Amino acid sequence: MTLDPVTLAVLKGRLEQIADEMDATLFRAAFNPTIAEAHDACHGIYEATTGATLIQGKSGLPIFVGVMAFGVKAVIDKFTGDNAPREGDVFIFNDPYLGGTHLSDLRLIRPCFHSGKLFCWLASVGHWHDVGGAVPGNYNPAATEYFQEGVLIPPVRLYSAGRLNQDIVDIILAASRLPVSAFGDLNAHLSALDLGTARVAALLAESGPDLVAAAFAELTARAATMMRAEIAGLPDGRWEEEDFLDNDGRNDVPLRIACAVTIAGDRLTLDFTGSADACAGPVNISRATTIASVYVALKHLFPEVAANSGVLDPVAIILPPNSLLDAQRPKPTGGYTETILRIIDVLFCAFARIRPGHAIGNAYGTINALSIAGNRADGARWVMFSFFGGGHGGNPEGDGLSHGNPPIATAIIPPVEIMEAAYPIRFTQWALRPGSGGAGTHRGGMGAIYEIELRDAAAELFVFAERARFAPRGVLGGGQGAMNVVEYEQADGWHTPALGSKVVGVKLTRGQRIRLESPGGGGWGDPAGRDPAAAERDARMGYLA
């Protein structure tokens, strides 16, 4: 079926609106602030037989969209024959090795039928507050197996032909330190899927399945065509880049992430051979997560290409088996965010050499995942989990964004007012970090300083972060951003973690503080070329150290 451009544009907008409405429904209904306020979640529409990404929402996390395609495929592969999906089914899982990220990210997948035939899949994913494990909030820098990070849920039927399996709900809630929060999030996901199913049904009734299926096929084909054209416009050749993670949270040894980028005509090959082997600590990622991070990086580098599985059609990705980027169970994956950010940094640096006119300095490269947990006076458990911002890289058009979110996310840094209202803590500082952006013709954006004081009698502190040993890099002669600084207060004064950026189970008492000084972005271009007026403004505004 041939679609005219107007019809295709209308259908594309209608389909994206379905995913956007699902995003909004989850954000408004979720109980935990990581979803409700920070928007650490996403929704998408996926192909019926392959699970390939067809449509993604504009408000959710791009990394979730890419990984979810593998999750949908895992459900397709498992539930076949007499056990095939039926109308009213909903599947749930968090298995990071079957199209997940880490155990905190719960995935709910629902088949959409039309006239008794499976037409597509809808998926909803969000970061839940706590799913068990050794550490409240689940970011456990000391984990050596996924068992220490939380409870792994394989793909199972939560609803069977419209009937809730209460046993599954009971198991999930029993595993969480915060069952009320988990129950609220679960029902928020289900509400989003209900809305999405109703919207898809209305669209199919109005336009017919053949027309909508033709739109899916055309949008995917166009993304592939656009990506081939972008690659063909680049010079042929081979470029190698590398960067490092500080350590794995267990052993203080840097971990290499290497990539050789080869362009031949309209084909792109990304070869990660030479990257570190799978490690003891929780910075491993699955093959699905690595491929999804490449998808996100390419969408940053080629923003005009449509966002669906067609982006990867002309791209070959080579991963060394059993490496840090192809981890197998039971290797821990809780700190996956840090590793995928480094993959994006490596690709940004490689493409800065391939097409300098579009070069971007590295962003700050860590989410600074922070958990503080304790018990209130009445014995009730509380768990604060949050992530924090930093500087983005300078670029051809100007200075990098200060205090932004990482390139893997469209999430929002949770508001200080929400966190102070929800937990017995107080922010004593929340400010830009002077001098943290890398020097350049266009300097890197500034990181931030966050200082948090405990207002309860006692609590435990956990931090999972990176970039305390290897700074965000500049491009085209730009300088490095400042490295991450993590400090916490004890009775004898301030301490810095032995591993630089990772803290496990430190005891805090009332009035003691934790301070994060997040990295700035790398600079763009020779600092000698900076506009004197811009340099004067930096000094006047206090942006310089």
On the question of pLDDT at 63 being above 90, the answer is: no
On the question of pLDDT at 59 being above 90, the answer is: no
On the question of pLDDT at 139 being above 90, the answer is: no
Q: What span, in angstroms and rounded, lies between the C-alpha atoms of 321 and 125?
A: 27
CB neighbour list of residue 196: distance below 8 Å, 6 or more residues apart: 18, 19, 21, 22, 43, 45, 110, 112, 122, 124
DSSP class of residue 3 equals -
DSSP class of residue 86 equals -
Mean pLDDT of the chain: 95
Percentage of the residues of the chain whose pLDDT score is greater than 90: 91
Q: What span, in angstroms and rounded, lies between the C-alpha atoms of 61 and 40?
A: 7
Task: Return the pLDDT at 453.
Answer: 98
Looking at the chain, the number of H-run helices and the number of E-run strands are 10, 20
**Tokens describing residue 142:** 């000391």
Q: Give me the residues paired with residue 93 across strands.
A: 107
On the question of pLDDT at 307 being above 90, the answer is: no
**Tokens describing residue 265:** 């005509």
Q: What span, in angstroms and rounded, lies between the C-alpha atoms of 207 and 380?
A: 52
Pairing of strands 90-93, 105-114: antiparallel
Question: Within a 10 A sphere around the Cβ of 463, how many other Cβ atoms?
Answer: 23
Task: Return the pLDDT at 381.
Answer: 92
Q: What span, in angstroms and rounded, lies between the C-alpha atoms of 8 and 388?
A: 39
Task: Return the pLDDT at 545.
Answer: 79
Residue 226 CB-half CA count within 13 A: 19
Q: What is the pLDDT of residues 260-296, one digit of tens each?
A: 999 999 999 999 999 999 999 999 999 999 999 999 9
Closest CA to 18 of 88, 162, 119: 119
Closest CA to 69 of 312, 410, 302, 391: 312
Work out the burial of residue 274: count CB atoms within 10 Å of its CB; fewer than 13 is exposed, 13-18 middle, 19 or more buried: middle
Q: What is the pLDDT of residues 432-481, one digit of tens each?
A: 999 999 999 999 999 999 999 999 999 999 999 999 999 999 999 999 99
Task: Return the pLDDT at 412.
Answer: 82
Task: Return the pLDDT at 40.
Answer: 92
On the question of pLDDT at 305 being above 80, the answer is: yes
Lowest mean per-residue pLDDT among 164-173, 223-232, 406-415 = 406-415
In this prediction, residue 259 has a pLDDT band, given cuts at 50, 70 and 90, of very high
